[in-house]
Structure formats: structure tokens, C-alpha cells
Structure 1
Amino acid sequence: MDFSFLPTYWAYFNYGVLVTVMISACVVFFGTIIGILVSLLKRTNIKVFDWLVSFYVWVFRGTPMVVQIMIAFAWMHFSHVPTIGFGVLDLDFSRLLPGIIILSLNSGAYISEIVRAGIEAVPKGQLEAAYSLGIRPVNAMRYVILPQAFKNILPALGNEFITIIKDSSLLQTIGVMELWNGAQSVVTATYLPVSPLLFAAFYYLMVTTVMSALVKRLENRMGQGR
């Protein structure tokens, strides 16, 4: 394998992985909020809300993410969104925003099911005890149920974060300059078909390994009751 391109093109991978992590962090943040809201709306037992969120989950879980990204990019044309220089790469927000929106909506559909399962895993007696103490339903869910559910769903949320890091590579289909797109740019510039891609895969592996270790550490601390 020829890795002689690294001194010249190292910045493509460094900036690409920063963009990938930034995209993933935004998607997990917004996806978690969407997932919690969807899960809570399903628990209201209001038929309109239940139908709407069920339709949303059905659509986003039943169609390929790359198709969703391409449709969103075609529909969401931001004509006056700036492009910001980011080292050797450019952050084109006209492409970045549709990607983050679709990844967040897709992630939210999966996280909603994770949250639902986590809430249902909390004993019903916890909610009944909160009501008996005069705690309002909203506060009971916020301060009693959700903290316990979060402990139950933390491993699944960690896996979702790792999945999003890998799935962010699909944004190269609309020209977002993340890690995989940066690697393909190096392939085009150096005419090396394999080595840049292997190095990008190594970068992905390092990032996901670090994230897995952090999630495991947090899980252990929560398991110790800290």
C-alpha cells in the first residue's frame, strides 16, 4: 500500500473527520429531541398525534436514507446560505443543512422507539408513586421517569451515535465535504484507488472506537450510581 500521499493530503482527512463529528453531534442532539417528543406524543393517546407520529416513523424507517437525503436536497434549495472556508475544505451550508435535517429526522424515528422501550421498562409503580405525592404528570415524566429511562437506553443511544458517524458518509452524495468525500477527493488527485479509502476507514474506526469507549465509561459510572 502506498501512503506517500499523507504529508500532502493529511489536512483533507483531519478536516473531514472534524466535519463528520460535527454533523454527528448535531444529528444526535436534534435526533434525541425529536425522538423524545415523538415518543411522548404517542403516549398522549390522542389519535391525531398517534397517527401523525406513526406515519412519520413508518416513512423514515421504511425508506433508504440516501433516498431521503436526495429528495430533501432537491426540495430544500437554500439560495442565499453562505459557504464558509474550513481549512482545505468548505462548509457549504446549502448542502449541509438538508443533510443534517434528514439525518436528524431519520435518527429521531429510531430514537423514538428506543425511548419508548426505555420508558416502558420503568416500573409503572414509579409513576403511580409520583402521582400519589402530588407531582404533576409533566414533572413526573421529566424528573422521575425520563432519568431512569435514560439509564436504560444509554447503550442504544451510544450505538445510534456510532451509526450516525458511519451514515454521515452518505452525505457525500449531495457534495458535503465530510471524511469520506475528502478521501474520494484524495483518490481523484493522487490516482491511488485504495490507500486513501483504507486510511479513511481507519479514521472512522478510530472515531467509533473512542466513542464506544466514552459511552461505556458513562454507562459504568451511571451503573455505579454516581
Structure 2
Amino acid sequence: MAELFETLSALSKSGTTLNFWENFFVKFYQAFLQADRWKLYLKGVGTTLVVTALALALGVVLGSVVALVRVAHDQQRPHRRNPVLGFFNAICKVYTTVIRGTPMMVQLLIMSMVVFQSSRNFTAVGALTLGINSGAYVSEIIRGGLMAVDPGQMEAGRSLGLNYITTMVLIIIPQAIRSVLPSLGNEFIILLKDTSLITVIGGKELLYAAQGIMNRTYEAMFPLLGTAAIYLVLVMVFSWLLGKLERRLRQSDRR
């Protein structure tokens, strides 16, 4: 195969016009096989998955905390408001408003060029920014799920002698998770695709690898199509796993 590539490349450089399939083979070989460039894609996929996992973990933790603070504030009795909880609720509202109201690209540039301008670990900065961004959306998803649970569930738990936190952990949150799981799965898929944005600040993920190959081969079609295909496969795999998890939860509910 390498010999065929060398022959066709020599013919192309000499001015000989290649047919469609010969030209297709040359460009495909340059994009994926020459100098084991497929390894660069695999390395990019690994970085993409690590960044997605880190950002997802941060987003879920941050979003859960924000959602619990806002729900606890909203469920207070009218004449028994906790000022400390009100203060943190205001901070959470500002956080979700600012993050959801500004573009991800702008947030990445601010974090890399202003907040962490002295850092050279652009991939970590990108993962942190993605996690903070995801947390704002996850908080609204979880808050919606918690608020959708019948208020009688909370009253039932309190009537059994459980405090507010125990009632939330044992009764409310397990019910809310089932209802918000599809939305959380969708947020995870969006987060996976958004990892491509960290290329703008120098994050070395999948698209960064494709751009490096494009700069060497001066050919954009196959590296970009290959990157798109890899993202599509990853999304399909995670959608399938999410569907299996949802079916298992539905089966456990029937039992």
C-alpha cells in the first residue's frame, strides 16, 4: 500500500492527472496512514474523553450544589426566610444567568487569556471552563427535576421524622434522577461535542489533531470528515448506553 501511494504521489507531482479513485486513495493515505497519523486521532480521542469526563464530573457536582441551594431557598416558608441561604441563592442565580447568557467561546477565551493567562496547560483550562459552563445547565435540569417531584413526598418524609437533608437524599433525589436522566444524557452529548471548542485556545483534543494533519498535508476534507465520523460514532455509542440505562431504570420501577 505504501508503494502504491509513493507511485501515485510521484505521478501527481510529475503533472499526471489521477482519476477519482487514485486521488481518493492518495488523500486518504495522507490523512490516516502516512507516518501512522491514525495514532494522532486516537490520542485526540483519548484527550477528548478525558476532558469530557472531567468537565462532566465538575458540571454534575457544581450543578447539583446550585440546584439544591435554589430549591432549598424556594421551599422555605414565607415568614421563615434564612438570610444566609438567600445570599447563596443570589450568587447561584447570578452564576447561572452569566454562564447561560454568554457564549462558550467567549468564556474559553476569558479563562485562557485573562484568568489563567500564565498557564500553558490549555487542555486543563478548557476542561475547567467546560465544567463550569455545564454546571449552569445541569443545575437547571436538576432543579426542574426536584421541583417536579410531588410536594407531598417531602411532607411525607418530614412526617416520618426525617430532616430536610435526609428526606432529599432518600426520597426526593432518587425520584428526580429518573425524570432528569434523559436531559442529563443530552447535556453530556452536547458537552462531548463542545470539547472541540478548546482547540481555539490550544487544547490538544481530536480537532487539534486533525488540524495538525491538515497543516502537513494541505488537505482538509479527509481529516475533517474523519473527525466528524469519530464524533458521530462516540455520540451513537453513548446514546446507546444511555438508552440501556433508561430501560433498566424503567424495569426497576415496574418491580
**TM-score, structure 1 normalization:** 0.91
Q: From 195, 202, 207, give the equivalent of 2:229.
A: 202
Partner of 2:62: 34
CA RMSD, Structure 1 to Structure 2 (Å): 1.3
Partner of 2:175: 148
Partner of 1:76: 116
Partner of 2:16: none
Q: For residues 114 and 3 of structure 1, what CA distance do their matches in structure 2 show?
A: 42
Of 69-78 and 134-143, the range deviating more from structure 2: 69-78
Structure 1 spans left out of the alignment, 5+ residues: 80-91
User: Percent identity, aligned pairs only?
Assistant: 38
Structure 2 spans left out of the alignment, 5+ residues: 1-23, 74-84
Point out 4+ residue stretches in structure 1 off by more than 3 angstroms: none
1:77 deviates by 3.6
Partner of 2:98: 59
Q: Which whole-Å deviations, capped at 9, do the CAs of 1:160-206 have from their partners, x for residues lacking one?
A: 11001100000001111100111111111111121110000000000
Partner of 1:17: 45
The count of corresponding residues between Structure 1 and Structure 2 is 213
Tell whether 2:197 aligns with 1:170: yes
Determine which structure has the larger helix proportion and give its number.
2
Q: Return the structure number with greater relative CO, CA threshold 8 A, min gap 6.
A: 1
Q: For residues 143 and 189 of structure 1, what CA distance do their matches in structure 2 show?
A: 56
Tell whether 2:247 aligns with 1:220: yes
Partner of 2:29: 4
1:125-144 paired onto structure 2 within 5 Å? 125-144=152-171
1:50 deviates by 1.8
Higher gyration radius (CA): 2
> Which secondary structure state, in structure 1, belongs to the residue aligned with residue 179 of structure 2?
helix
Partner of 1:97: 124
> Which secondary structure state, in structure 1, belongs to the residue aligned with residue 138 of structure 2?
helix
1:107-118 paired onto structure 2 within 5 Å? 107-118=134-145
Tell whether 2:198 aligns with 1:159: no
Q: Which whole-Å deviations, capped at 9, do the CAs of 1:62-93 have from their partners, x for residues lacking one?
A: 000010011011221455xxxxxxxxxxxx6x
